[in-house]
């Protein structure tokens, strides 16, 4: 019975072949985009706490909350005054900390709302921090602190810790003694009612130095499996920072808390401690712990340690440093904190400095989270992004999952476009971010929309209704883009213009002539004359705007290659007086007039029969209607970035009843663009420029395109730059230099 269940080894090749065939059929039935590397980041949602200015109780309450949140040690506490003002230093810290939400602990509601508006972050009350807002998507530290002990020991070494991890975490019991505030800020604290439910945590007396210097505090626990995957700066090697507070510890405690919130996470080591100036002298053998902390650090920096305080005097700091056996470094301060190559580990005597504010040296942008990378086969309609979590969760909770890949770079970072990719996602740092349950394995479905669909969605966002204009419909029928780019080749655009049958121009001239004479408009005669208008044909020597004969030949042949023009002969009939173009395919050994069929002679020179060129009907009409300049601009933008899809004309209406037409609207290199195209530089007067840029702004464009097939004047460009700056859009200038190589080379 068991043998009947064994897999037939001989059938393996057939099964493998069948699997390959099935997979091939799936790829053929769906649009396969290839293999892409996806980068996933797992991180907690993090907050900044708003407290009243000078509020010790608010500070303690914020610390209590931070100790119950994954990453809580990196969550700033921001004091807010009653004047609805936010100090620049606190604003900078809130921005650098890259938080997701503001939490009002005990500051004035109006002040909290003002700060929320200024920072552009959602605001919730601390009473509902676990129920409302993005900040609730995190875990309790117990869920993420049960990781492999060896891994944690290594991370503790990078943070400058002492000795092995014992499995217990120290915290300070909340008291009314202001002198113990430093210990609460250094180690963390819990509300007495919930302290026993916080896992492997034990209270530590502020008089005991061991817990605070060992990286085994309740706050350190919140940084378990907490990483930093990107920064635009940060230390390679920096002095250790010993921050001391005095009898009035609050200013130093809150300043240190926010300084520590910006510490690096990674192999960069910046040891930092908050210490009480009045008590540290009585700590037995603490100087040995300081020596141990500094010993063995690699790198070159002017001093091994910086002693800093907002309240303690420099002389007192020097006395404390010397009691630890440190020697003051008196070199030129301009040499401080230069990042250089690592050298041999540092050995005593260790040096120190005072009077240096260490906060600016942590003032760089960073992004937090643990990362993993996975190659994934990508399909247009549905792709399963499956990966093992880089964070080991030991219980229930929530987290942020960020997904990034180069395949997402062409898309504008708008909320509606994120929802096209994944309905529950939003943009974050160039990728999409979702709120998920804490899991060991994730499988998230995404789709990769076409840029055409993206542009339609963007128009839906910005307008009440929209449709292609007449030029837009005609221009869309002339794509694909690889053909459009050939419009940029020397002489091609000029050849099209020269070969264009100017119906619009000639009809307009006839109407103007009739009006000038005061004659009644004869529509039947007008239709008779221009309804039978022959398409223009020319030889290359007659092409206008092409100053070099060889350029004209190449340009005309390019049009034939694209299917936009055809070659032929010309016959001028002596019998019916009609000059006709005869495509090569219709020529006969004996030339005959296509109209009256009388014998004639094809046009010739001493070199032989002359070749004439004629545009096909679509290109001829598009050029006459002014569509080609739109396509020329699209071609120029597509040449700059292949991630481009632009509609060459859209009629739009807004919810206030205003209707308008925009010459260009679409996506270019991840940005939304709109713009105006002219064939005459003089048409861009100040009124026109204001109207164009205002329309682009109303269409929610990131950039406005001002394009002309003639050279633009500096005055018009200057006006456009000023108007674009006023409306907050980027300006893209394209004129003859960019669009017409023949003009540029003259």
Higher pLDDT residue, 199 or 723? 723
pLDDT at 236 (0 to 100): 61
Please give the model's pTM, rounded to 2 decimal places. Answer: 0.84
Contacts of 729 (CB under 8 A, 6+ apart): 693, 696, 697, 701, 702, 703, 704
Residues 486 and 614 in one domain: yes
Residues 86 and 190 in one domain: no
In a domain? residue 613: yes
In a domain? residue 158: yes
Residues 149 and 253 in one domain: no
Q: DSSP characters for 229-274?
A: EEESS--SB--EEEEEE-SS-HHHHHHHHHHHHT---SS-B--EEE
pLDDT at 524 (0 to 100): 52
Q: How many residues does the chain have?
A: 746
Summarize the confidence of residues 552-564 as an average pLDDT.
95
Spatial distance between the Cα atoms of 696 and 703, rounded to a whole number of angstroms: 8
In a domain? residue 190: yes
In a domain? residue 35: no
Residues 488 and 617 in one domain: yes
Question: What is the maximum alpha-carbon separation in the chain?
Answer: 122
CB of 696 closer than 8 Å to CB of 674: yes
- pLDDT of 50 > 90? The answer is yes
Summarize the confidence of residues 352-380 as an average pLDDT.
93
pLDDT in tens, 314-357: 999 999 999 999 999 876 654 444 444 445 677 889 999 998 99
How many Cβ atoms sit within 10 Å of the Cβ of residue 145? 21
pLDDT bracket for residue 147 (50, 70, 90): very low
Q: DSSP characters for 698-722?
A: HTT-SEEEEEESSPPPHHHHHHHHH
Residues 640 and 729 in one domain: yes
pLDDT in tens, 587-629: 988 888 888 888 888 899 888 899 999 999 999 999 999 999 9
Q: Which two tokens stand for residue 717?
A: 């460009």
Report the percent of the chain where pLDDT is more than 90: 64
Residues 668 and 717 in one domain: yes
pLDDT in tens, 177-190: 888 899 999 999 99
Residues 269 and 357 in one domain: yes
Q: At 687, which CATH number?
A: 3.40.1350.10
- pLDDT of 713 > 80? The answer is yes
pLDDT at 573 (0 to 100): 87
pLDDT bracket for residue 214 (50, 70, 90): low
DSSP character at residue 577: -
Residues 654 and 666 in one domain: yes
Q: b or e along 597-612 (b: 16 or more beta carbons within 10 Å of the residue's beta carbon)?
A: eeebebbeeeeeeebb
In a domain? residue 650: yes
In a domain? residue 273: yes
In a domain? residue 524: no
Contacts of 727 (CB under 8 A, 6+ apart): 693, 694, 696, 697, 704
pLDDT in tens, 273-321: 999 999 888 888 888 889 988 988 876 677 899 999 999 999 999 999 9
- pLDDT of 15 > 80? The answer is no
Q: Give how many domains the chain has, as a whole number.
A: 6
Residues 198 and 257 in one domain: no
Q: Which of 204, 225, 246 is the last residue of a domain?
A: 225
Residues 221 and 239 in one domain: no
pLDDT in tens, 394-449: 999 999 999 999 999 999 999 999 999 999 999 999 999 999 999 999 999 999 99
pLDDT bracket for residue 742 (50, 70, 90): low
Residues 580 and 486 in one domain: yes
Q: Which of 304, 329, 364 is the last residue of a domain?
A: 364
Task: Work out the mean pLDDT of the chain and round it to a whole number.
Answer: 87
Contacts of 655 (CB under 8 A, 6+ apart): 464
In a domain? residue 582: yes
Spatial distance between the Cα atoms of 600 and 606, rounded to a whole number of angstroms: 18
Spatial distance between the Cα atoms of 489 and 483, rounded to a whole number of angstroms: 11
- pLDDT of 693 > 90? The answer is yes
Higher pLDDT residue, 350 or 502? 350
pLDDT bracket for residue 26 (50, 70, 90): low
CB of 65 closer than 8 Å to CB of 126: yes
Query: Reduced to 3 states, what is the DSSP secondary structure of residue 489?
Result: coil
pLDDT bracket for residue 19 (50, 70, 90): low
Q: Which of 572, 604, 621 is the last residue of a domain?
A: 621
pLDDT at 151 (0 to 100): 41
Spatial distance between the Cα atoms of 468 and 67, rounded to a whole number of angstroms: 57
Q: Which domain holds residue 179?
A: 140-225
Spatial distance between the Cα atoms of 401 and 393, rounded to a whole number of angstroms: 14
Q: Which two tokens stand for residue 331?
A: 């070199």
pLDDT at 466 (0 to 100): 98
Spatial distance between the Cα atoms of 30 and 351, rounded to a whole number of angstroms: 66
Residues 351 and 376 in one domain: no
- pLDDT of 210 > 80? The answer is no
How many Cβ atoms sit within 10 Å of the Cβ of residue 34? 8
Summarize the confidence of residues 82-108 as an average pLDDT.
91
pLDDT in tens, 58-77: 999 999 999 999 999 999 99
């Amino acid at each position: 019975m068991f043998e009947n269940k064994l897999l037939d080894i001989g059938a393996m090749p057939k099964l493998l072949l069948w699997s390959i065939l099935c997979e091939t059929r799936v790829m053929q039935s769906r649009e396969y985009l290839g293999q892409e590397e996806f980068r996933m980041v797992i991180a907690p949602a993090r907050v900044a706490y708003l407290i009243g200015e000078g509020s010790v109780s608010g500070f303690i309450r914020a610390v209590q909350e931070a100790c119950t949140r994954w990453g809580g040690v990196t969550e700033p506490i921001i004091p807010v005054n009653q004047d609805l003002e936010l100090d620049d230093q606190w604003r900078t810290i809130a921005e650098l900390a890259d938080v997701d939400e503001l939490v009002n602990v005990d500051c004035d509601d109006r002040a909290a709302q003002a700060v929320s508006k200024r920072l552009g972050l959602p605001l919730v009350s601390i009473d509902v921090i676990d129920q409302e807002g993005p900040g609730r998507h995190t875990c309790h530290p117990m869920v993420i602190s049960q990781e492999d002990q060896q891994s944690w020991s290594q991370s503790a070494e990078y943070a400058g810790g002492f000795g092995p991890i014992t499995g217990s975490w120290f915290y300070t019991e909340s008291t009314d003694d202001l002198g113990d505030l430093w210990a609460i800020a250094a180690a963390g604290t819990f509300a007495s009612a919930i302290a026993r439910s916080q896992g492997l945590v034990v209270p530590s007396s502020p008089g005991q130095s061991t817990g605070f210097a060992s990286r085994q505090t309740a706050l350190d626990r919140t940084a378990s499996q907490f990483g930093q995957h990107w920064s635009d700066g940060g230390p390679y090697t920096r002095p250790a920072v010993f921050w001391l507070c005095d009898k009035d510890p609050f200013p130093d405690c809150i300043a240190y808390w926010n300084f520590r919130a910006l510490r690096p996470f990674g192999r960069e080591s910046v040891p930092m401690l908050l210490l009480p100036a009045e008590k540290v002298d009585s700590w037995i053998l603490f100087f040995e712990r300081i020596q141990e902390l500094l010993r063995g650090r690699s790198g070159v920096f002017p001093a091994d340690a910086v002693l800093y305080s907002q309240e303690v005097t420099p002389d007192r700091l020097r006395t404390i440093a010397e009691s630890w056996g440190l020697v003051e470094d008196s070199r030129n301060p301009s040499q401080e904190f230069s990042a250089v190559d690592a050298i041999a580990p540092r050995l005593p005597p260790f040096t120190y400095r005072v009077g240096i504010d260490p906060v600016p040296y942590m003032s760089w942008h960073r992004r937090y989270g643990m990362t993993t990378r996975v190659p994934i086969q990508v399909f247009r309609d549905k792709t399963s992004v499956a990966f093992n979590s880089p964070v080991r969760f030991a219980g229930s909770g929530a987290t942020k999952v960020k997904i990034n890949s180069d395949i997402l770079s062409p898309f504008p970072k708008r909320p509606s476009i994120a929802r096209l990719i994944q309905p529950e996602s939003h943009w974050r740092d160039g990728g999409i971010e979702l709120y998920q349950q804490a899991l060991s394995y994730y499988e998230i479905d995404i789709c990769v929309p076409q840029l055409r669909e993206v542009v339609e969605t963007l128009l839906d966002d910005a307008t009440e209704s929209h449709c292609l204009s007449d030029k837009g419909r005609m221009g869309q029928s002339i794509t694909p883009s690889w053909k459009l780019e050939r419009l940029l080749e020397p002489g091609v655009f000029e050849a099209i213009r020269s070969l264009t049958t100017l119906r619009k121009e000639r009809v307009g001239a006839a109407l103007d002539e009739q009006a000038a004479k005061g004659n009644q408009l004869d529509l039947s005669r007008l239709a008779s004359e221009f309804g039978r208008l022959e398409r223009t044909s020319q030889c290359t020597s007659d092409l206008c705007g092409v100053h070099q004969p060889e350029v004209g030949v190449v340009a005309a042949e390019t049009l034939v290659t694209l299917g936009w023009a055809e070659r032929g002969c010309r016959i001028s009939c002596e019998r019916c007086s009609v000059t006709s173009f005869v495509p090569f395919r219709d020529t006969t050994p004996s030339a005959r007039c296509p109209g009256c069929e009388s014998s004639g002679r094809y046009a010739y020179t001493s070199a032989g029969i002359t070749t004439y060129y004629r545009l096909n009907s679509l290109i001829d009409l598009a050029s006459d209607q002014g569509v080609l300049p739109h396509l020329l601009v699209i071609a120029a933008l597509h040449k700059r970035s292949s991630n481009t899809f632009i509609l060459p004309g859209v009629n739009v209406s807004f919810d206030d009843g205003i209707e308008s037409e925009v010459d260009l609207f679409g996506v270019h290199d991840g940005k939304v663009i709109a713009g105006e195209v002219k064939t005459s530089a003089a048409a861009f007067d100040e009124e026109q420029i204001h109207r164009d840029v205002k329309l682009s702004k109303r269409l929610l464009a990131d950039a406005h395109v001002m394009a002309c097939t003639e050279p633009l004047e500096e005055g018009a460009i200057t006006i456009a730059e000023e108007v674009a700056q006023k409306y907050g859009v980027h300006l893209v200038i394209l004129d003859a230099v960019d669009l017409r190589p023949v003009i540029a080379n003259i």
